Structure 1
Amino acid sequence: MLMESFVAVMALVAASIIEPGLYFAMNTPPAGLGIVMPNLHEMGGENAAMIAAQLKEVTVHAAATVSSWGFVISPEQILQTAKDIGEPSVLNRAGGAPTLAVGIAHVFHKIIPMADMGFWYHFGILFEALFILTALDAGTRAGRFMLQDLLGNFVPFLKKTDSLVAGIIGTAGCVGLWGYLLYQGVVDPLGGVKSLWPLFGISNQMLAAVALVLGTVVLVKMQRTKYIWVTVIPAAWLLLCTTWALGLKLFSSNPQMEGFFFMAQQYKEKIAAGGELTAQQIANMNHIVVNNYTNAGLSILFLVVVYSIIFYGIKTWLNVRNNKVRTDKETPYVPVPEGGVKTSSHH
């Protein structure tokens, strides 16, 4: 969590370095900018000239849209940034990774100017990939045991963590769950992992809050209540921030907040109005409606899970507050014999 916090600080610094107009041009989905991105994979083919012309056209439109929000940016600035980092375009780069990489490229290019921004941009992407993959590895390992424990309530065999077959089933199930989101992100440009970006920061901090709540319960059961301020204060702060943020993302009608229910309703009204929308734009808007409702459902689920844990944590504290004996053990305490524990040795 400490490492994640440092990365979060780096991301905030990197985001503050970038021009606000460029930030919104990068992170706003195409449908939000009123554009349809050309197929950039054909930039090197026979249709390269046509794709380049389309890209220039959508960049002009994107710059005008972002500028109308009060964050002035020119098409030339957007195109030059893409050229500097060695990419065909920086549009449709929603999420923290490209933003952080561009910020890193700006900083390191100023410090070590002999290496161009393209080098530092891809260095930043590599740094993030290693960080994400290690987190994914740790998450898959933990998720495997959680999934086995959950499914073991229905099929007891799956609770055997020392079983190769049960381990393979648990791992495959866990990989399949996050793998599906990756797959959806590939087949649907607006779906999968990309649609869940708004929840990543909140879910991470809620996970930290849950860990602190569980730490508080352990301290209470250890009869170390005078130390619980160490976990209670940061837990309360995290819960306040994340709950407030989720409340805004769920119910805010401020367009700049992009509340899930508000955005879903806005796009439903645009679809119903019709007008000069193309079939592709309507399809994209339908995806955005579904994605916003999905995010809203997951947000509510997060709140239910987190506050259920808090409820049971408080209930546990109330049950043991008058107990003067430590209750932080799942099995009865067994003292070591006076003569020690005999062990057999093999030579």
Structure 2
Amino acid sequence: MVERETHTLFIGYGSMLMESLVGVMALVAACILSPGEYFAINSPAAVLGKDAVSAAAYINSIGFSITPEQIGALASNVGETTMMSRTGGAPTFAMGLTMLLHQIIGGKELMAFWYHFAILFEALFILTAVDAGTRTGRFMVQEILGNVYKPFSDTKNFLYGIIATLICVAGWGYLLYSGVTDPMGGIYTLWPLFGASNQMLAGIALLLATVVLFKMGKQKYAFVTIAPAIWVLITTLYAAILKLMPANGERVHDAVSHVAIAQNTAAKLAGLSDPAAIEKAQAIIRNNVIDAVLCALFVVVTIIVIAQTIRMCLKISKGGANEGYFKLAESEHIDRGVYEKA
């Protein structure tokens, strides 16, 4: 997809800078909100209660100041019915951006516009990820199932391509369906996994580049990919493991772990009497169980890739690059001039 290999330096580095910029924007947006506003948006419904009064009482009890009127104004200013328990990151980012931009352009009258503009911005970002992920996932599904039934690995076969695509669409289709039927589902389920999964993918890409360097006989340059891979994989795997730890009573830990959130919410479920609160608590439990299962799957897949990378690199360094499973299978390089002549 690039004209020259050297162009990837600018593309790769530029993409990294843009990715970092998005992260900085998200942090700035979160910091713009006061602690009381932040916890009103990001605390689960099971602890905030059913209205702004109980939510304000809870937030004040943990040491931050906010009034029921301020909680109500958060929603009314941006044209929403409520902003309580809008966890997942997207509403926080949109609200922070709104707090900043409405002071530059439009004033209070345009707060609703800026909020929904930011939500749309995030939705388009996710849409492109779903588009690329579905196409990539189709190839992965065909390759995996091809180990069971060889003809299924033929990516040019229309029937098998459709079946593999439907499997991928069913995966994100469930999240789409849950977002429509469950106020706490959809992107609110998927978003907490983005941080770990996104950087795990970066680590896997670095491992792939490491294997390619070994296959090319350029092991002495492999430190360029190995060093960042070690850093990225240690931080992301540690974060993922924290998300899978059971409840231990520590507020910070229990707020991070999907398993702990599900356990603590389940413990409080028996004391709830309001049907709406019960329904929200059940949704929180269900969505965090899904997150925990997916997070565990990501960890297992990453560990397998790490083990295989080490195994292949050791085999290649001992002269086994062209033996059996490790035989080079890359397409032969074709000079650009051949295409120009054609």
- For the criterion TM > 0.5, the same-fold answer is yes
1:185 & 1:199 partners in 2: Cα distance? 16
- 1:111 alignment partner, SS class: coil
- Asked if structure 2 preserves the Cα contact closer than 8 Å seen for 1:218 and 1:328, the reply is no
Question: Aligned partner of 2:48: which letter?
Answer: L
2:24 & 2:330 partners in 1: Cα distance? 42
Of the structure 1 ranges 141-150 and 320-329, higher mean CA displacement relative to structure 2 is found in 320-329
| 2:57 matches 1:64 | yes
- TM superposition shift of 1:188: 2.8
- TM superposition shift of 1:200: 1.8
Change (3 A) 1:284 1:120: closer
Change (3 A) 1:137 1:112: same
Which residue of structure 2 lines up, in the alignment, with residue 255 of structure 1?
251
1:106 & 1:283 partners in 2: Cα distance? 31
Change (3 A) 1:210 1:165: same
- Aligned counterpart in structure 1 of residue 313 of structure 2, from 314, 317, 327: 317
Which residue of structure 1 lines up, in the alignment, with residue 229 of structure 2?
235
What do you get for the CA RMSD once the two structures are aligned? 3.0
The Cα offsets for residues 148-199 of structure 1, whole Å up to 9 and x where unpaired, read as: 2222333444322223322222222211111012212322333454234322
Count of paired positions: 317
- 1:93 alignment partner, SS class: coil
| 2:90 matches 1:100 | no
Change (3 A) 1:112 1:229: farther
Change (3 A) 1:282 1:97: closer
The Cα offsets for residues 48-75 of structure 1, whole Å up to 9 and x where unpaired, read as: xxxxxxxxxx112112212212222222
TM (norm. structure 2) is 0.81
Which residue of structure 1 lines up, in the alignment, with residue 329 of structure 2?
330
TM (norm. structure 1) is 0.80
| % identical aligned pairs | 47
Change (3 A) 1:169 1:234: same
**Any residues of structure 2 matched to 1:27-106 within 5 Å, and which?**
27-35=42-50, 58-106=51-99
Which residue of structure 2 lines up, in the alignment, with residue 121 of structure 1?
115
Q: Which runs of 5+ in 2 are unaligned?
A: 1-14
Question: Aligned partner of 1:14: which letter?
Answer: A
1:13 & 1:246 partners in 2: Cα distance? 24
Of the structure 1 ranges 107-116 and 68-77, higher mean CA displacement relative to structure 2 is found in 107-116
1:313 & 1:210 partners in 2: Cα distance? 9
Which residue of structure 2 lines up, in the alignment, with residue 307 of structure 1?
303
Change (3 A) 1:204 1:218: same
The Cα offsets for residues 101-155 of structure 1, whole Å up to 9 and x where unpaired, read as: 1122122223334572222212212211221111111111111111122223334
Of the structure 1 ranges 193-202 and 7-16, higher mean CA displacement relative to structure 2 is found in 193-202
- Aligned counterpart in structure 2 of residue 295 of structure 1, from 291, 302, 310: 291
- 1:112 alignment partner, SS class: coil
Question: Aligned partner of 1:87: which letter?
Answer: E
1:301 & 1:323 partners in 2: Cα distance? 33
1:328 & 1:230 partners in 2: Cα distance? 24
| 2:146 matches 1:161 | no
2:266 & 2:105 partners in 1: Cα distance? 49
| 2:143 matches 1:149 | yes
- Asked if structure 2 preserves the Cα contact closer than 8 Å seen for 1:223 and 1:324, the reply is no
- 1:323 alignment partner, SS class: coil
Which residue of structure 1 lines up, in the alignment, with residue 183 of structure 2?
189
Q: Which runs of 5+ in 1 are unaligned?
A: 36-57
Which residue of structure 2 lines up, in the alignment, with residue 55 of structure 1?
none
2:71 & 2:272 partners in 1: Cα distance? 27
